[in-house]
Amino acid sequence: MMNSSTTFQNDLLRRLVKVFYKGSLQFSLQPKEVEFLTWEQQQKFLDATVNSERVKKYPVNSDFARLFFKKLLIYLEPRQEVHDDIYCYLCSLMEKDRENESFYYRHYVIGEDLKNVIIIKETKNMVVNGTTGMKTWEAALMLADWVLSNEALFRNKKILELGSGVGFTGITIAKHCKINSILLTDCHEDVLNAICDNIAFNFPQNSLTEGSMKKEFTDGNKVLGVMMLDWDNVQNLSNDLLPDVIIGSDIIYDPSILKPLCNVIKIFTSRNKSIEIYVANIIRNEDTYKQFLRTLDVFELDHEEISHTKNASVEWDVNIHKYTIIRIKDKQ
Ligand SMILES: C[S@@+](CC[C@H](N)C(=O)[O-])C[C@H]1O[C@@H](n2cnc3c(N)ncnc32)[C@H](O)[C@@H]1O
């Protein structure tokens, strides 16, 4: 039986580790909590984060890590003997070449088990080489969280993701849901390469088959595909592409792509009347979003809002000013 102080220590460590992997500096420690962060507990924290084989292989953003440990030191230094490895780690960060800083690895903890981590190589820059797809956006976290909370809707289904970006949502679904297959698509070569790298990090055992149109990673059971699908260029969209479900996150932001996007959706609803389509959005510009809803109407597509107001398995910011998940279907 664990006594209450061990439980307190474990909860505190878990909370700190989760905050670290979330990439957040929003934490504070009460004097009683600092008291528990002895050398031994600091060792456990380091082992679960920067000393772990996973983080050594896939390093987190060093700007963030530097700020995180500096903040931790503000709490620790007056009250605790600080673990040497914290200082060593900070020194190693200072030596790092800043050139390598634009890409780093995010470690997204799924659920409560700190071993359930999705590793995504990404940047914090909003636009890289003309694409917004090289970082994981908040809507991707929200959509993955909603899908994991509604796993039954996706069971044994063939899923297609539009505008996947670096692939967090698709990879998380592939890892945690009993789906048949998922095809991650995007229009940018760099993004497609990043998706392939990220699949390889998270499914190192899967074998890769390269076809002329798509790459497929499989464990012999589930298939993860990666394919170029540019909404502006759908003349050659294969007729064999018949997903049961389409998903997308943060793909409604540019007025110029609303029509091509609705056109792609219409192509799929025409091929399969019972297709399910879910799109997660952060509404930055009310006019663009309203224009999207009007464009859906022009394409004879209906939509309904789905409520998702909590963090279940994937942490996302529920306090975002305006967000929504919509389900789209054909009017006929
Ligand atoms: C804001 S990012 C969202 C990425 C990811 N879904 C997420 O939420 O993290 C928008 C994505 O849509 C893709 N995109 C933009 N225009 C596109 C088009 N015409 N065809 C296909 N994908 C497009 C971009 O390359 C980018 O990956």
Considering the domain boundaries, does residue 122 fall inside one? no
pLDDT tens, per residue, the chain with 332 residues:
556 777 778 899 999 999 999 999 999 999 999 999 999 999 999 999 999 999 999 999 988 999 999 999 999 999 999 999 999 898 888 766 554 558 899 999 999 999 999 999 999 888 888 889 999 999 999 999 999 999 999 999 999 999 999 999 999 999 999 999 999 999 999 999 999 999 999 999 999 999 989 999 999 999 999 999 999 999 989 999 999 999 999 999 999 999 999 999 999 999 999 999 999 999 989 999 999 999 999 999 999 999 998 889 999 998 887 999 999 999 97
> Atom 13 in ligand 1: which residue has the minimum CA distance?
163
Both 152 and 217 in a single domain? Answer: yes
Both 112 and 17 in a single domain? Answer: yes
Provide the domain limits for residue 61.
4-117
The pLDDT value recorded for residue 99 is 46
Q: Which helix (H) or strand (E) holds 288?
A: helix 286-298
Considering the domain boundaries, does residue 313 fall inside one? yes
Distance 129 CA to ligand 1 centre (A): 13
Q: Which residue in the block uniquely carries the two structure tokens 């995007």? A: 186
Distance 70 CA to ligand 1 centre (A): 35
Atom of ligand 1 nearest to the CA of 165: 27
Query: Token pair of 102, please?
Result: 């634009």
Considering the domain boundaries, does residue 17 fall inside one? yes
Asked whether 262 lines ligand 1 (CB < 6 A), one says no
Both 90 and 8 in a single domain? Answer: yes
- What are the DSSP E strand ranges found in the chain? 103-109, 117-123, 158-162, 181-186, 207-210, 214-218, 223-228, 245-249, 276-282, 301-306, 323-330
Both 38 and 169 in a single domain? Answer: no
Asked whether 308 lines ligand 1 (CB < 6 A), one says no
Atom of ligand 1 nearest to the CA of 232: 19
Both 138 and 47 in a single domain? Answer: no
The pLDDT value recorded for residue 97 is 52
Where does a domain end: 117, 150, 168? 117
Considering the domain boundaries, does residue 36 fall inside one? yes
Considering the domain boundaries, does residue 25 fall inside one? yes
The pLDDT value recorded for residue 102 is 82
Asked whether 120 lines ligand 1 (CB < 6 A), one says no
Residue pair 48/13 in contact by the 8 Å Cβ criterion: yes
Where does a domain end: 75, 92, 117? 117
Asked whether 250 lines ligand 1 (CB < 6 A), one says yes
Could you give the number of structural domains in the chain? Answer: 2
Both 166 and 282 in a single domain? Answer: yes
The pLDDT value recorded for residue 3 is 67
Asked whether 164 lines ligand 1 (CB < 6 A), one says yes
Considering the domain boundaries, does residue 113 fall inside one? yes
The pLDDT value recorded for residue 53 is 95
Considering the domain boundaries, does residue 208 fall inside one? yes
Both 95 and 167 in a single domain? Answer: no
Q: Which residue in the block uniquely carries the two structure tokens 């398995």? A: 313
Q: Which residues pair with 268 in a beta bridge?
A: none
Both 256 and 180 in a single domain? Answer: yes
Calpha distance 165→192 (Å, rounded): 8
Both 152 and 250 in a single domain? Answer: yes
Planar angle of CA 230, 231, 235, nearest 5 degrees: 85
Considering the domain boundaries, does residue 195 fall inside one? yes
The pLDDT value recorded for residue 100 is 54
The pLDDT value recorded for residue 91 is 84
In Å, what is the CA distance from 59 to each residue of 175, 179, 194, 330?
21, 30, 16, 45
Both 152 and 233 in a single domain? Answer: yes
Both 150 and 216 in a single domain? Answer: yes
* pTM (global) more than 0.85: yes
Where does a domain end: 96, 117, 138? 117
**Three-state DSSP class for residue 156:** coil
Residue 185: which CATH number? Answer: 3.40.50.150
Q: Probe ligand 1: pick from 164, 166, 186, max atoms within 8 Å of CB? A: 186
> Atom 15 in ligand 1: which residue has the minimum CA distance?
163
Both 146 and 60 in a single domain? Answer: no
Atom of ligand 1 nearest to the CA of 260: 19
